[in-house]
Amino acid sequence: MPYRTLRDLDLRGKRVLLREDLNVPLDKQTGAVTDTTRLRAAIPTIRYLQRQGAKVILLSHLGRPEGKPNPKLSLAPVARELSNLLGEGVEFVPDTIGEQAKQAVAALQPGEVLLLENVRFFPGEEQNDPRFAQALAALGDVYVNDAFGTAHRAHASTAGVAQYLPSAAGLLMEKELHALGSILENPRRPLVAVIGGAKISTKIGVLEHLLDRVNALLIGGGMANTFLKAQGCEIGRSLVENDQVPTARDLMDRTEQRGIDLLLPTDVVVADRVEAGATTRTVRVEQVPPDQFIVDIGPETAERFGEVIRTAGTIFWNGPMGVFEIPEFAAGTRRIAELIATSNATSVIGGGESVAAVEQLGLADKMTHVSTGGGATLEFLEGRELPGVKALEAR
């Protein structure tokens, strides 16, 4: 591996600056954490550091405070929820690099955990200001980046600090890089990519990079409408990117030339409006009424996709098959999630909405790997360099 892991460092008694992605949703009324997924993902690395006798100093951002303090985006509620999950106190100080933070770090004992205030309360964080990075580094002896979800950001706490301290990847970072790297480098075949979501323009980089690697490509969600239009289908009032129709046509030509199985919907669910309670029906893709919206893949399409999924060695899924947030339009996404969960393939789920879907359906523990990265996952699979990973490699 080109970067160090926790097992490469002597951590006993060391002050470990641990960058985690604790950017969790908060209830607007109470300020309480409403989804603990990212907190739970951080626990294995925290526990490992505690067992090694390290003094754990947690760094994270929350929301977009634009470089100035915002009480609504304080990490105090996160510290309380993390304490509950760990079953022990996580100290919190409403300070990041000031005197209060320094005193709290100085008082920290081996095995104890301290959470500092939101790093984005300082303009130097997003600017990757060396002075801010050095001020953070002065609080620790070792830097560990476990925040894969922010590894695509060249910020002070995700990349800058690594220039000043011995650094390593945390357990979650290591797991993410291994799972996603295996898709690009040495997947068990056949490699099947299931790509959905609203727009082809946001996924074009991933599609391009996977084209030389996949054996089959299954396209659903709103982005499938652009492919259907490229085939000459009527798509009614559905979401479509007209400027991407030539791109879709080009991708279809290239998959055919390379012998890649490209599956598009053959039937779809249409609705008179994209709202709960809408009237829906299933039609062939050639028979979409001009006044209707395509809101999901149909059952025939789901089963056709299922035939490919059942034979896969590795599956990468990014993006829902329809407007799954509305229960009436969620059947296609639910069926694909069930098919992947019950397959014998190595399954990697990447991207916010796909992760939300498998979590919501209670199927996350049936998947081989559920990525905590949104933009970072996509950029990694586009073959782009992630600053947070690059900084570890440099060390």
Whether residue 80 is predicted with pLDDT greater than 70 in this model: the reply is: yes
Q: How many C-beta atoms surround the C-beta of residue 394 within 10 A? A: 12
Give me the percent of the chain exceeding a pLDDT of 90.
91
Average pLDDT over residues 93-113: 98
Where is 55: in which H helix or E strand? strand 55-59
- pTM for this entry: 0.90
Predicted confidence at residue 395, as pLDDT, reads 53
Tell me the torsion sign for CA atoms 46, 49, 53, 59.
negative
360 pLDDT tier (thresholds 50, 70, 90): confident
CA distance 60 to 75: 8
Predicted confidence at residue 114, as pLDDT, reads 98
Structure tokens at 256: 């055919």
Whether residue 321 is predicted with pLDDT greater than 80 in this model: the reply is: yes
List of residues 6+ apart from 255 with CB closer than 8 A: 211, 217, 261, 262
Average pLDDT, the chain: 95
Whether residue 394 is predicted with pLDDT greater than 80 in this model: the reply is: no
Least confident of 88-102, 116-130, 348-362: 348-362
Summarised one tens digit per residue, pLDDT across range 183-232 is 999 899 999 999 999 989 988 999 999 998 999 999 999 999 999 999 99
Predicted confidence at residue 353, as pLDDT, reads 82
Predicted confidence at residue 303, as pLDDT, reads 97
Predicted confidence at residue 388, as pLDDT, reads 94
Strand partners, 216: 192, 261
Higher pLDDT, 212 or 316: 316
Average pLDDT over residues 268-294: 96
CA distance 173 to 150: 10
Q: How many C-beta atoms surround the C-beta of residue 302 within 10 A? A: 23
What residues act catalytically?
38, 199, 352, 375
Distances (CA, A) of 204 to 15, 199, 247: 42, 9, 9
Predicted confidence at residue 168, as pLDDT, reads 96
Structural domains in the chain, sorted by start: 6-174 (3.40.50.1260), 187-381 (3.40.50.1260)
CA angle 23, 370, 144 (to 5 degrees): 55
77, with CB counted inside 10 A (0-12, 13-18, 19+), is: middle
